[in-house]
A and B are shown apart, each in its own frame.
Chain A
Amino acid sequence: MPEPQAPDEIAGEPVARLENIDRLFGDLTVLDDVSLALPENTVTSLIGPNGSGKTTLVKIAAGVLQPDSGERTIVADSERPVGYLPQSPQFRPAFSVEETLEFYDDLLDADADVQGAMEQVGLAEVADRRVDALSGGMRQLLGVAQGFLGRPSLVVLDEPTSGLDPRMKQHIFDVVSEMATDGTAVLLTTHDLASADASDRIALLNRGQLIVDESPDKFRSQTNTNSLLSAFLATVGEDPTVQTGREDGTHD
């Protein structure tokens, strides 16, 4: 079986590869032979209808869930190969932003630049603010900063823009794009197709199968559409009850 390759127009060595990933929950096939290569210095947006298997795939990419079959390879020279931000994370509410990041820093051998991380995501001015006093967007930015601590090769972010206003969504995408440098690849899931358009690459998962793995431009041109939303609908169909593919939607 050939190794999964990134689309031609995306330069950069893959730092992470998922090859022929299968995952079942009971009798339900959530992921079916999914292969994906994640090149350095790129942001890949994993999109798909509810229940398509996105969260399951990113959990496997992050190493917190094991596939039933298939291989996950991370090329890393860092002590923390993968950074991860789960869906709706809740850090300790009584901790400040700085304390939260310092705790994670203390788990690393090499000192991460906590101050630099806060500045990069724009939280330096609220370093002393308690987590429970942060807005939803600020909490996600804290999670993003945590995800990049220790310069992992792959950073996996599960719906980092969920429930945020358009301005904050765009800000988070901008921050993530700026941080996807120095050999780091980012894989994030999102339902926000307008923001996903700014990513380097679109991976579309439908009913547990990866059916698109292209740059946003190429995805649009292949579907003869002029927006990512149109391309998405042209690919998966417009009837959400047909496309969901699962009744309970538990494995987003």
Chain B
Amino acid sequence: MTDWDDRIAAVTERELRTLLRSRTYALLAGGYAFLLLAVTVVSGASGYVPLVLTLLTPLELLVPILAAALGYRSILSDRESGELDVLRTYPVTQGEYVFGVYFGRLVAITAIVVVPLLLISVAVPIVGGAPTFLPQPSGLDSPILYLRFVTLTAVFSAVLLAIMTLISAVATSNRRGLVFAVLAVLTVGILIDVAAIAGLASGLSKNWSVVTLLGPTGAYRGLVMALVVATITSTEPGSIVVSTVSLLCWVTLSLLVATWNVWASTP
């Protein structure tokens, strides 16, 4: 008897097998790991929190690009190949299909994002170096803080992958999917921050900075600063809640809209 979880597992396994046999996946994983390593070596960061601060900005750019590369064709490729119509004749629901695709790609992006981060951290105790200059509440530079950062980065990639899955579900052609994905990367990575900074510069209330937390990148940065670097919790205690709710909303709404739309957008 095939239950809903078995059908999700079947779709998830299919996505994973597809990615693991793809040269593009290997190139993405290798390229990403190389860039992280290069940034780390060039910065000479010694200590977990300095390493977090070194990697934070590059990750804000790299993770959306990775999510776009892994996600924007996830459903679109089935639509273009005709397999989406074939799938509709099987007893698999829209939700089972979308979540299966999402989970498969999620495992893949989590592996790409997390493994190099963990490997790089191994070098910190070896390199040693000067103590961090940042004022930590505990006074310690701990690997636990770094693990928090890795976890938050995995969550960030999960949110962005959900957005790209939505784009893949609504796009009716490869060209449109690519344009939407690029726009999403630009909006998430740059435009929301620029809007917030412009608002602050033009004299809007300090609360305007909360706007940055409404975007996935701002929310991710806010959580890293609050829970890892611990420099802003005393000034903006609500930021953790706002950031968390923001990320939850992005992932939930993206997957729900993708589920609702996936059969409908078949031409």
Interface 9-residue window, one of A99-107, A173-181, A182-190, A222-230: A99-107
Contact A83 B81 (CB under 8 A): no
Closest to A150 in B: B90
Q: Beta-carbon contacts of B66-101 to A below 8 Å, as 1s and 0s?
A: 000000000000001111011111111000000000
Contact status A64-B90, CB under 8 Å: no
B-binding segment of A42-50, A86-94, A195-203, A207-215: A86-94
B82 close to A89 (CB less than 8 A) = yes
Residues of A within 8 A of B80 (CB): 90
B8 to chain A, nearest CB (A): 10
The answer to whether B2 and A84 have CB atoms under 8 Å apart is no
Question: A107 contacts B85, CB within 8 Å?
Answer: no
Given contacts A63-B88, A150-B90, contact A89 B6 (CB under 8 A): no
Size bracket of the A interface = 20 to 34
Which chain B residue lies CB-closest to A152? B89
Q: Which of A85, A95, A108 contacts B86 (CB 8 A)?
A: A85
In the assembled complex, how far is the CB of residue B169 from the closest CB belonging to chain A, in whole angstroms?
Answer: 16
Are A90 and B82 in contact, with the CB atoms below 8 A? yes
CB distance from B264 to the nearest CB of A (A): 10
**Is A171 an interface residue when CB atoms closer than 8 A count as contact?**
no
Q: B6, A106: Cβ atoms under 8 Å?
A: yes
Per-residue contact bits, chain A 24-67, to B (CB 8 Å; 1 contact, 0 not): 00000000000000000000000000000000000100111000
Q: Which residue of B lies closest to A99 (CB)?
A: B17
B144 at the interface (CB under 8 A from A): no
Interface centre among A84, A88, A91 (most CB of B within 10 A): A84
Q: CB < 8 Å: which of B10, B14, B82, B87 contacts A88?
A: B82
In the complex, the answer to whether A89 meets B83 with C-beta atoms within 8 Å is yes
Chain B interface SS verdict (over half)? helix
CB pair B22–A107 under 8 Å, yes or no, is no
B86 touches A84 (CB 8 A): yes
Docked Cα-Cα span, A62 to B266, in Å, equals 13
Instruction: Please tell me if the beta carbons of A83 and B89 are within 8 angstroms of each other in the complex.
Output: yes
Q: Are B83 and A62 in contact (CB under 8 A)?
A: no
Q: Let me know if B17 and A107 touch, CB within 8 A.
A: no
Interface residues of A in 66-93 (CB under 8 A from B): 79-80, 82-92
Tell which of A63, A79, A87, A103 touches B14, judged by Cβ atoms closer than 8 Å: A103
Q: Which of A85, A94, A109 contacts B18 (CB 8 A)?
A: A94
Partner of A84, one of B1, B17, B21, B89: B89
Residue in B22, B86, B89, B90 whose beta carbon sits within 8 Å of that of A89 in the complex: B86
A146 touches B (CB below 8 Å)? yes
Nearest-neighbor residue (CB-CB) of B10 within chain A: A106
- Looking at the complex, which one of B18, B81, B90, B266 makes contact with A107 (CB distance below 8 Å)? B90
Given contacts A94-B17, A94-B22, contact A109 B10 (CB under 8 A): no
* CB-based nearest A residue for B84: A64
Interface string of B1-36 (1 = CB under 8 A from A): 110001100100110011001100000000000000
Q: Is the CB of A95 within 8 A of B82?
A: no
CB pair A92–B85 under 8 Å, yes or no, is no
Residues of A within 8 A of B87 (CB): 107
Is the Cβ of B86 less than 8 Å from the Cβ of A107? no
Which of B87, B90, B91, B266 has the most CB atoms of chain A within a 10 A radius of its CB? Answer: B90
Complex: how many Å from CA A150 to CA B86?
13
Q: Provide the bound-state CA to CA distance between A86 and B84, in Å.
A: 10
**Which residue of chain A has its CB nearest to the CB of B81?**
A90
Q: Which residues of B contact A94 (CB under 8 A)?
A: 17-18, 21-22
CB distance from A67 to the nearest CB of B (A): 15
Complex Cα distance, B113 from A154, in Å, reads: 46
CA distance in complex: A87, B21 (Å): 26
Q: How far is the CB of B80 from chain A (nearest CB, A)?
A: 8
B85 partner residues in chain A, CB cutoff 8 A: 59, 62, 64, 84, 86
- In the complex formed, the residue of B with least CB distance to A94 is B21
Q: Which residues of A contact B82 (CB under 8 A)?
A: 86-90
Question: Given A89-B81, A92-B14: A106 and B86 within 8 A (CB)?
Answer: no
Give the contacts of B188-203 with A (CB-CB under 8 A): none
Give me the interface of A with B, judged by CB distance under 8 Å: 59, 62-64, 79-80, 82-92, 94-95, 99, 103-104, 106-109, 146, 150, 152
21 A/B residue pairs, CB under 8 Å, sorted by A: A59-B85, A62-B89, A63-B88, A64-B88, A80-B91, A82-B89, A86-B85, A86-B86, A89-B86, A90-B81, A90-B83, A91-B83, A92-B17, A92-B83, A94-B18, A94-B21, A95-B14, A107-B10, A107-B92, A109-B2, A109-B91
